[in-house]
Amino acid sequence: MDWPHDPDGEQGSEGRRQYGHAVIAKKVDEDDDFPLERAAFVEEYGDDPIRIDHETVVPLREIFDHVDQSSFETIVDMHQAVGTAMRDNDLWFYEGADAFSRTR
């Protein structure tokens, strides 16, 4: 895929130093962006690369395709929904992440 910027550059995962949630979190301002509409966020950042692990990069929209909520009142709401979507859809590289998944 042709990324709008380097997945490992300063706009991406900072030379592979940051992954998944950390890269997504840098795209929002906790004080100014909430409540946040999922559709508008994906429209703006959907093609941005999100490094999942040392080998895998996916567009942000691929992660948000699995997020059920249409809006988030707070950054915590967003993190919980994104984390659940990533864990439930094999987009989370952290070993032992299943221990943090919610029972449905």
pLDDT single digits (tens) 63-98: 999 999 999 999 999 999 999 999 899 888 766 555
Q: How large is the average pLDDT for residues 1-8?
A: 83
1 in Cβ contact with 62 (< 8 Å): no
pTM: 0.81
- Domain ranges in the chain are 20-100
Q: Three-state DSSP class for 99?
A: helix
Asked whether the beta carbons of 71 and 49 are under 8 A apart, the reply is no
Tokens read off for 93: 């590289």
Counting every residue written for the chain, the total comes to 104
